[in-house]
Every structure is written in structure tokens, then in C-alpha cells.
Amino acid sequence: MSLVENLFVAGGEATTASPEQEKDFFDCLRLKNGVYKTTYPHRMDDFNARLANYLPASRPLRVLDVGISSGVSTLEWAETLEGSGIDYQMTGIDLTLRGLLLSFGDRLHAVLDSTKWPMLFEIDGQWISNPPRKRHLLRHPFSLALTNYALLLWARRHQESETEQAGKILGMPTRAQAIHLVTPRLMKHPRVRVCEGDIVTESGLQGEFDVIRAANILNRGYFDDDTLARITQNLRRHLTPNGVLAVCHTHDEESVNRASIFELGQNNRFALLAKMNGGAEIEDIVLQLSAAPADSRITSESALVYSAE
């Protein structure tokens, strides 16, 4: 059995995986855009504590966490809210939360995204990023080449048959199964729902929220200023009047969270409530947003719903 299968099974069922094993997995999982799902426990603790001082009085508090990646920081935020005795409902959204585990026999495995791009290889129980690092290329040249060739054959057969099950490829029993690319500890949380969605196009983003947290997603390393403004406008449409938008960027080299917390006023413009360590780098973009027409606001009470494959 693949180690990935042992950690992340279809349906989000929890396993006995340790946080250290989860971290090792996410450190190797490389998305098609080159971003890793690397995470560090408790990196948001001071930010969550500061945000707690500005939460709206509405209960249950409807909160949205965008760009949740591995879901570890989202889970810690949920635990912080519970520890404070706050009644809440949380939704987490990310572009890539589901994948496909493809196994060729017992030794060769790959985790694919929705476009069938391999994000991670597993060779003889070792996780390897794609593209592989030099030491992995030197250690597993034949196995990696064989896995890539098997993936090519599988993709052709999958396209022809429109089924994920391929029987045997290169004489190896081949099996495919859906997996969740988020910590199982979050998937089983009774107050949290997760959903795939794109904050740039607003696809998958539904409902209205009292608080929206954007941690390590809205920064100039990922998006240009025009796109950042568009994303912020999209998020604003899903905030209640007097709702709170919290933006944070962790500078790992300094171990510092630079954050800004905003309130959406009745004029549909943001006002700065507080900042940490100089504030978020997109603070100016948020404050300069022009007011949107009143009829452009989201009025639906619907919430994001996760649909398992």
C-alpha cells in the first residue's frame, strides 16, 4: 500500500498519521504553478490572537478562510475560536484540495491534480517532488523514468476509455483513487467545511461571511496589483456590512507575520482597524478600492458545500 493512501484516503477519513508525517508530505507536494503546500504549525498564532480582538458580535460567526493549502493553519484557527468559546461556522477554500492517487503495482505511485499533472511521486515509500530534486534523480533514475512512462500510457488509455481504472500497465496492476490534499484532521472537524474554488474568478465562492481571513495568499509574489484588486473586490462581495477582512503574509526568513485588519463600512469601503509589524503589503490596494454599487453585494445566505468525488 502507498504511504499516501495510508495518510489521505477518499472521503477524508482520518488515519493515524502524525503531524510530522503530514508535514513531510506537504513539503514534497508541488502544485503545477510551482507552489508547495508546505506548512508550519502555529505560524499564525499571534495573528489569530490579534484578529480575535476585532471579531464582529454576530453569532454564530460565519468565517471564511481562503487559500487554506494543507488546512493546518485553518484547523488551528478553528481551535482558537473554540478555545475562546465563540460559536462559529467555518468554510475553507483553496484552488487544489483534491487529487488522484495512481498506483502501478506496490512500489510506484503518483499524486495527480485535476489536469492529471503529477504533483508528487512515491517510490518505494519515499516521497519525491515533481520535478524531482537532483538527489532523487541520482537515487531513483530508473524508477522515476518508469513511473513517468507508465503515467503517459495511463493518460492515453484514460483519454480513450474515459475511466480512471486501467487494469494493467507495463504488466503492473494499476489502481486509481480519489484523495483529499488537506489534513484529515480538518476534514473530520464538525464545524468546518472545505471546498475547491478560485478567488480570482470567484468560482466556487458563495454565501456571505462575517469574517474573511486571507493568510499567505494575497501578496505580490503571487499576483500583480490588478489581480490583487480584483480578488479583494470578489471577497468584499461576500462580506456582511461591518464585516472584517484580515490579510496576513508570513515572512519566514524573519519569522514575522505582517498583517492588516479591515472593516467594511456602510459605504462599502474598507477602513483600517489594526496592523501588525508594519501591515500587509497590499494594505494600500484594499484601502484604495472604490465603493461598489449596492446591488452588487451578495445577499444569499447559502454556504459553501464540499462535494466529494
DSSP state of 232: H
Domain ranges of the chain: 3-33+98-180, 45-96+182-296
Q: Residue 281 pLDDT more than 90? A: yes
Confidence at residue 304, expressed as pLDDT on a 0 to 100 scale: 37
Beta strands 98-104; 256-264: pairing state: unpaired
Q: Which three cell numbers mark 67?
A: 487559500
Residue 194 has pLDDT above 80, yes or no: yes
Highest mean pLDDT among 45-54, 158-167, 175-184: 45-54
Q: In the chain, pLDDT over 70 holds for what percent of residues?
A: 88
| CA separation for the pair 222, 31 (Å, rounded) | 13
- Per-residue pLDDT averaged across 19-46, rounded? 89
- Cα distance between residue 163 and residue 172, in whole Å: 17
Q: First vs last Cα of the chain: how many Å apart?
A: 21
**How confident is the model over 73-78, as a mean pLDDT?**
96
Residues counted in the chain: 309
pTM as predicted: 0.87
Where residue 232 falls (left for φ over 0; alpha for ψ -120 to 50; beta otherwise) is alpha
- Tell whether the torsion through CA atoms of 49, 54, 57 and 63 is positive or negative: negative
pLDDT of residue 298: 52
In this prediction, residue 255 carries a pLDDT of 83
What is the rounded distance in angstroms from the CA atom of residue 223 to the CA atom of residue 247? 14
Q: In whole angstroms, what is the distance from residue 135 CA to residue 120 CA?
A: 15
What is the CATH class of 45-96+182-296?
Answer: alpha beta
pLDDT digits (tens, 9 = 90+) for 95-153: 999 999 999 999 999 999 989 999 999 999 999 999 999 999 999 999 999 999 999 99
- Residues 244 and 273 sit within 8 Å (Cβ to Cβ): yes
- With a cut of 90, say whether residue 226 has pLDDT above it: yes
pLDDT band for position 170 (cuts 50, 70, 90)? very high
Average pLDDT over residues 215-243: 96
